[in-house]
């Protein structure tokens, strides 16, 4: 009998398919539908630190009393947090699969107390989506790494549930940062987060939003770094994210060394039924390949397990394409 259970960041999942954090997971009843469709876990929609600050600033613009600023900030934050804790509780009441809370933050001390509240509300784990676009010319990748480390240390001192870091591709040396995070307490790494994509409207001469969904071409970087990080850091727990759109993409991520795979854009496009379709195809592929469990092929094609690991390195680009017209 084929077994597709997996261990990810200290969690036991019935299968490696996770519905990633998005507006889709901001509703407990809909989360139950994802469970019925077969999802192995759910990451709730992120609570954004910047969004709370922005809402506070908007309210304060309408206030004639500057001294009310602290009250307004406190009210907005408390209201947002209470709504989020209620989402955790309702989803846990309806679902039996792991429920992973998500915080999008950029200050090392802003969410320490909230992390504890998340645990008390019943979340099975916490995903920290830590990144902001830094344009300061004196800010470097070491500053970003230190921010990651500061946050993971303080949160791990506060909670006992697994804590994952959702990394950006723009942190510099990705394997080194991933290793530093695991050494400092991260139970898992998510590769990668996806942020707002700007575009330019040349007719109206303004900045507009680009495509909010990922596509198949985004998978290449996800595969490369999943394979390199899993090959260079034995025992690290990775969830691949961004560019995963079908069952073949999921298999590729597993072969590269992922313990779990987050899908989001594909669920937006095709609905919850894509989950059961992907799982069925994975089991059919495993049957044809004579695999009984994921462990039999997980990481089989990562950086450490192939004869020519340089295939994952960008330096190969000129070798393979320099003779093309």
Contact 179, 233 (CB under 8 A): yes
Residue 55 has pLDDT above 50, yes or no: no
Contact 44, 100 (CB under 8 A): yes
DSSP 185: T
Tally DSSP H helices, then E strands, for the chain.
Answer: 11, 13
Please give the C-alpha separations between residue 265 and each of 48, 194, 241, 270, 275, in angstroms, as whole numbers. 20, 11, 10, 9, 12
Least confident of 172-186, 208-222, 244-258, 307-321: 307-321
Question: Is pLDDT larger for residue 27 or for residue 137?
Answer: 27
From the list 248, 222, 231, the residue with the least C-alpha distance to 20 is 222
What pLDDT is attached to residue 218?
Answer: 86
pLDDT in tens, 172-185: 899 999 999 999 99
Residue 325 has pLDDT above 60, yes or no: no
Rounded to an integer, what distance in angstroms lies between the CA atom of residue 68 and that of residue 76?
Answer: 12
What tokens were used for 76? 């907005």
pLDDT in tens, 22-50: 999 999 999 999 999 999 999 999 886 55
The most confident of 11-20, 52-61, 203-212, 304-313, by mean pLDDT: 11-20
What pLDDT is attached to residue 159?
Answer: 96
What pLDDT is attached to residue 207?
Answer: 87
What tokens were used for 26? 């901001």
Q: Which domains does the chain have, with CATH numbers?
A: 6-321 (3.20.20.70)
pLDDT > 70: what percent of the chain?
81
Q: Transcribe 240-262 into DSSP letters.
A: EESS--SHHHHHHHHHHT-SEEE
From the list 237, 269, 263, 236, the residue with the least C-alpha distance to 250 is 263
* C-alpha 33 chain-centroid distance: 21
Residue 317 has pLDDT above 60, yes or no: no
pLDDT in tens, 84-121: 999 999 999 999 999 999 998 766 566 787 899 999 99
Sign of the alpha-carbon dihedral angle for 256, 229, 43, 134: negative
């Amino acid at each position: 009998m084929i077994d597709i259970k997996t261990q990810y960041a200290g969690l036991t999942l019935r299968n490696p398919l996770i519905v990633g954090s998005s507006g889709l997971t901001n509703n407990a009843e809909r989360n139950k539908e994802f469970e019925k469709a077969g999802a192995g876990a759910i990451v709730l929609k992120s609570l954004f630190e910047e969004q709370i600050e922005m809402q506070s600033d908007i309210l304060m613009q309408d206030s004639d009393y500057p001294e009310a600023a602290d009250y307004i900030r406190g009210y907005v934050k408390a209201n947002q947090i209470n709504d989020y804790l209620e989402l955790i509780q309702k989803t846990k009441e309806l679902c039996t699969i792991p429920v992973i809370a998500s915080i999008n933050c950029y200050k090392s001390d802003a969410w320490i107390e909230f992390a504890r509240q998340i645990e008390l509300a019943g979340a099975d784990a916490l995903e920290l989506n830590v990144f902001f676009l830094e344009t300061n010319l004196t800010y470097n990748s070491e500053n970003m790494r230190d921010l990651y480390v500061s946050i993971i240390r303080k949160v791990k001192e506060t909670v006992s549930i697994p804590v994952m870091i959702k990394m950006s591709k723009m942190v510099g040396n990705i394997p080194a940062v991933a290793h530093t995070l695991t050494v400092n307490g991260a139970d898992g790494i998510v590769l990668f987060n996806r942020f707002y994509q700007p575009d330019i409207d040349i007719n109206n001469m303004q900045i507009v939003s680009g495509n909010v969904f990922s596509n198949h071409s985004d998978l290449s970087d996800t595969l490369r770094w999943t394979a390199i990080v899993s090959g260079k850091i034995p025992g690290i727990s990775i969830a691949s994210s961004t560019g995963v759109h079908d069952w073949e993409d999921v298999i590729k991520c597993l072969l590269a060394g992922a313990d779990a795979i987050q899908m989001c854009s594909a669920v937006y496009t095709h609905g919850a039924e894509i989950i059961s379709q992907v799982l069925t195809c994975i089991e059919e592929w495993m049957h044809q390949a004579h695999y009984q469990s994921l462990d039999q092929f997980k990481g089989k094609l990562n950086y450490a397990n192939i004869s020519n690991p340089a295939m994952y390195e960008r330096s190969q680009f000129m070798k393979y394409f320099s003779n093309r017209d």
